[in-house]
Amino acid sequence: MADEKLTQAEAQGVRYATELEGHLRWLDSFSAAALGVLAVASGIYTYLGVTSLLDNNGALSFVAAVSYSIAVSVGIFVFWSYLMRLLPAVRTVGSRLGLFVSMLFGSAAIIAMSSWLNAAALAGAAAVEQHLAQTVQDYQMSLEQANEIAVSAQGLERDVFRVRQSFEDLSEQEATGELSGLAGRGAVFRVLRQKSQELSGLQAQITSQQPLVSAAFAEGNQILSRMRVLTVEPGPIEVRSVEFSEEAVRLSGVITQLRQLSVAPLVSRAAEDLSASVVLPELDGRTEENRAGQQSTIQSVLQVLGQRAETLRRAAESVIAMPAPNEIMYTPISTADAVIRYAGNFAPSWAGAIAIDLLPAVLVFILAITHAAIRSGKARVGVEDTMTIAELRAALNAVTDMEDALRRAQPVSSPEVPPETDGDKPGQDQEKPQNA
């Protein structure tokens, strides 16, 4: 009989399991309601995310958005209800593994159909503003690159000025006879003046571009300032995006204008023509010796001219070789696409959107652990040892009811009549006294 009694450890395990079962009964009283609230909340945010994707705001779009959000809410509630009931109840490793894999696939499906829309509702406007801010930065870089190229090209004006000044100085030397030895404005003087005038015209053309470059850059900065204001000012993001698109088109035109104002290609072509297109005047020396001196001087001038042209060409090519500004084109983006593209900047919103859908998974694990603890507490005892007084009383009442039902079900039998004997025949008792 000693073996039939519960040990102290087994009794403690039974009490532990009974206590956990009591807690579970209390928690089950509102778990379904709590799960329903989570599902409805997810459906509401899903509705907001769906409406941001639909272009039409008519009745059909409203019905479609409501239907989708209701389907999401029902799906979340049913999915987690199944798992909260079944996963804690199964006992084999294969069953648990199968349900766990099912939970992973279901969670991925919930994220795909609901969580990203929830994130769009939570941070969609902020994500679109992030897209506008990023676009402003791209346009600013492109504007600055275009202005840098244009300003660098304007810097070629100094190179042109030095070359022109050198030819003017040489012409002045020729006028005094210091080059060819013949003072005056002869053939050598005219060659030098010819190239000096060409460079003077090029310099004037470069100088005329400077106000245009400054004005274009100032206009671009004004447009950028307006675009920055549109990024952060209050109001519906859809309206601001439309105005932002208009300003982006204007800014693209300014950047294109700045690129066209670069005079580097013009200087490069002028440098190539500087030595290639020389109109040689007729030698006007009176003697053959004078003409030979002029010819020799002109050849030296042409040689110097080629060197200066090459230097100018290399300076222009260095500007042309500068990286061209990127072609920026603003593309409007929806709130759902924005939260996906800039997901790294909105990690808290994504965490909240996913948590509201996958929080029941934590409850599933809690229930699975609790049920395992209950089974562990009752594993070494029989059912009769784990019955409470109320359960025992109910069992006794059930047994009594069954006995009464069986007693009523048996047929009622008539009482047995004892067999008659000869002495019991009628009239026999009367005859005996007579014989006596």
Q: Per residue in 6-42, pLDDT tens?
A: 566 666 666 777 777 778 888 888 888 999 999 999 9
Check whether residue 276 and residue 197 sit in a common domain: yes
Check whether residue 188 and residue 103 sit in a common domain: no
Q: What number is the average pLDDT over the span 314-331?
A: 83
- The verdict on residue 433 lying in a domain is no
Check whether residue 194 and residue 256 sit in a common domain: yes
C-beta separation of 206 from 267 below 8 A: yes
Specify the higher pLDDT residue, 336 or 248: 248
Q: 81-89: long-range contacts at Cβ-Cβ below 8 A with a sequence spacing of 24 or more?
A: 81/32, 81/35, 83/360, 83/361, 83/364, 84/31, 84/35, 84/360, 84/363, 84/364, 84/367, 87/364, 87/367, 87/368, 88/364, 88/367, 88/368, 88/370, 88/371, 88/372, 89/371
Q: pLDDT band at residue 387, thresholds of 50, 70 and 90?
A: low
Helices within 321-388 (DSSP H only) = 335-341, 347-377
- Give the separation between CA 147 and CA 141, rounded to whole angstroms: 10
- The verdict on residue 2 lying in a domain is no
Check whether residue 115 and residue 131 sit in a common domain: no
What is the per-residue pLDDT across 372-381, written as a single tens digit (0 to 9) for each? 887 776 666 5
Check whether residue 164 and residue 257 sit in a common domain: yes
- The verdict on residue 435 lying in a domain is no
- The verdict on residue 213 lying in a domain is yes
- The verdict on residue 324 lying in a domain is yes
User: Residue 279: what pLDDT?
Assistant: 46
What is the per-residue pLDDT across 46-58, written as a single tens digit (0 to 9) for each? 888 888 777 667 7
- Give the separation between CA 384 and CA 6, rounded to whole angstroms: 11
Across 89-103, 139-153, 274-288, 321-335, least confident range: 274-288
- Give the separation between CA 317 and CA 268, rounded to whole angstroms: 7
- Give the separation between CA 306 and CA 101, rounded to whole angstroms: 79
For 317, residues 6+ apart whose C-beta sits below 8 A from its C-beta are: 264, 268
User: Residue 300: what pLDDT?
Assistant: 66
Check whether residue 168 and residue 219 sit in a common domain: yes
Check whether residue 176 and residue 302 sit in a common domain: yes
Residues counted in the chain: 436
Closest to 273 (Cα-Cα) out of 195, 156, 193, 169: 195
CATH code of residue 173: 1.20.1260
- Give the separation between CA 368 and CA 380, rounded to whole angstroms: 20
How many distinct structural domains can be found in the chain?
2
- Name the one residue in this structure whose structure tokens are 């067999």: 419
Q: What number is the average pLDDT over the span 315-329?
A: 83
- The verdict on residue 400 lying in a domain is no
- Cα angle 148, 201, 324; round to 5: 20
Q: Identify which of 76-85, 321-330, 413-422 has the greatest average pLDDT.
A: 76-85
- The residue from 302, 335, 368 where one domain ends is 335
Q: What number is the average pLDDT over the span 256-279?
A: 76
User: Residue 9: what pLDDT?
Assistant: 64
- Give the separation between CA 359 and CA 63, rounded to whole angstroms: 28
- Cα angle 243, 326, 142; round to 5: 60
Check whether residue 158 and residue 183 sit in a common domain: yes
Check whether residue 82 and residue 229 sit in a common domain: no
For 338, residues 6+ apart whose C-beta sits below 8 A from its C-beta are: 120, 124, 127, 128, 130, 131
User: Residue 340: what pLDDT?
Assistant: 85
C-beta separation of 249 from 135 below 8 A: no
What is the per-residue pLDDT across 191-234, written as a single tens digit (0 to 9) for each? 677 777 777 888 888 888 888 988 999 999 999 999 999 888 88
Q: Is the pTM of this model over 0.85?
A: no
179 has pLDDT over 60 = no
1 has pLDDT over 80 = no
Residue ranges making up the domain that contains 243: 125-335
Q: pLDDT band at residue 433, thresholds of 50, 70 and 90?
A: very low
- The verdict on residue 94 lying in a domain is yes
Q: What number is the average pLDDT over the span 164-186?
A: 63
Check whether residue 178 and residue 106 sit in a common domain: no
Specify the higher pLDDT residue, 218 or 395: 218
Check whether residue 220 and residue 255 sit in a common domain: yes
- The verdict on residue 420 lying in a domain is no
User: Residue 39: what pLDDT?
Assistant: 92
Check whether residue 98 and residue 137 sit in a common domain: no
